[in-house]
Amino acid sequence: MKKYLLIGVSAFVLGAGSMAYLSQQAIAGAQPRAATYRMLGLFGDVLDTVERQYVTEVDDKKLIQAAIDGMLTSLDPHSGYLDPESFDDMRDQTRGEYGGLGIEVTNEDGVVKVITPMDDTPAAKAGLKAGDYITAVNGESVLGLSVNEAVKQMRGRPGEAVTLTIAREKSDPFDVKLLREVIKPRSAKASMEGEYGVLRVSAFNEKTTDEAQEAFAKLKAANPKMKGLILDLRNNPGGLLDQAVGISDLFLEGGEIVSQRGRDPRDVERYNARPGDITGGLPMVVLINSGSASAAEIVAGALQDRKRAELVGLTSFGKGSVQTVIPLRGGMDGALKLTTARYFTPSGRSIQKTGIEPDLEVASSREEAQNIANRAFLFSEATFRNALNADEGKVRRGAHEPAEAPPESFDEKKDFQLARAAEVLKYGSVAAVPKLPKPTPKMAGIVAPKARVAEAKPVQK
């Protein structure tokens, strides 16, 4: 409990004639606390002024909750305050069942931004994409609202219609009408791609490891001659740490999966795999992209570092921080969601902001390859202004020509990244798979200087 309490200055009144003694250390400790108390007094003055002079009556409780949330969100994009209702919603979501649209969102400079739509939910069926901005719900603007406030407007009774106004790059704002559903996303499902199994894991809730194990067992029983497995973690926004450990453990025979390290260098917690690989040692490829975040990156990083699987796709989102949910008064006053640690892959990599780079970089479309080259509209942890830095000071890779993209002859209605993952399994490794001609999108660095020269001529004239 001491960790979460603000310890005030104790004063001992000894009576007339007594001598007071303060060490230099006590004085140094008292000064910052005095400044803190002065700022708390300032907060009280501001609240009092708003109560007395604001144009309409105000709700003190909402003001204070907003102030707490603002304090926490100023630390980093993933810390925040959950009021009691939001805390209950979060617990429903981690249990794997809740009412809503099936969309993971965050807040960027006062705008609600889509991290990813979940598989087989109203949001996914409506075609929402990672990086979309939600500007209004049922015609009411959500600009400036916290994520919790915006989510409240999107959730409600199943069967009711919700209209979202979407702002998307290279598109005029448009409305999307969705019907709320009881969201029971099955976080793991399996299928076959030729001779290879595909295990799709779309999120990490309390049921994920059990669902994945069950889905794979059924697939293997129906296809005993399966020659390899593709673990698809694309657009997986993450979730529970213990489930990321559980999924990794399914494919490892032992050793470290991930470690998390807090403020104190001695505060290190390690998670290890137990013996037993459910595939029996089948070769594996993991699919990732820029929507693979948090727990998904733990799994990808563990299987890559432990040489259990090679990675195909695009650099992951780069969320390498751990949030602890701290209930307040047993949840009666909600909870704090506070960033308390960074996590590290078995080789000691902090992937915060940088993401995990695949062994074979493959863009899903020619348009995506162009966006990577132009560094255009690529949404990642590094785009947050107040994101934590990587522990070892690394930076995310900038604009570049991706290694592979669908050739002109490829039908882009098909899944190019999945097809290349199957090719890697077929040939045995990324090194052995025949490489496709490198795409030649126009690099932003080449286009920009020409534009500057053209604009400079009239000035010189």
What positions carry a catalytic annotation?
294, 305, 319
Burial 219-254 (b: 16+ CB within 10 A, else e): bbeeeeebebbbbbbbbbbbbbbebbbbbbbbbbee
Residue 189 CB partners (closer than 8 Å, separation 6+): 199, 200, 211, 215
Three-state DSSP string of 370-403: HHHHHCCCCCCHHHCCCCCCCCCCCCCCCCCCCC
Rounded Cα–Cα distance for residues 101 and 315 (Å): 27
How far apart, in Å, are the Cα atoms of 249 and each of 220, 232, 302? Answer: 18, 16, 10
> Phi and psi of 260, rounded to 5°?
-125, 140
Residue 304 CB partners (closer than 8 Å, separation 6+): 286, 310, 311, 345, 356, 359
Token representation of residue 445: 């660095």
Single out the residue of 419, 312, 309 nearest to residue 361, CA to CA.
312
Single out the residue of 146, 117, 120, 143 nearest to residue 132, CA to CA.
117
Token representation of residue 258: 């991930």
Single out the residue of 295, 339, 234 nearest to residue 94, CA to CA.
295
Rounded Cα–Cα distance for residues 270 and 222 (Å): 36
Rounded Cα–Cα distance for residues 81 and 83 (Å): 6
How far apart, in Å, are the Cα atoms of 414 and each of 313, 418, 419? Answer: 15, 9, 8
The helix (H) or strand (E) run that includes residue 121 is none
Rounded Cα–Cα distance for residues 69 and 209 (Å): 32
Rounded Cα–Cα distance for residues 431 and 327 (Å): 49
Token representation of residue 290: 């820029």
User: What is the distance, to the nearest Å, from the Cα of residue 210 to the centroid of all Cα atoms in its chain?
Assistant: 22
Rounded Cα–Cα distance for residues 298 and 149 (Å): 29
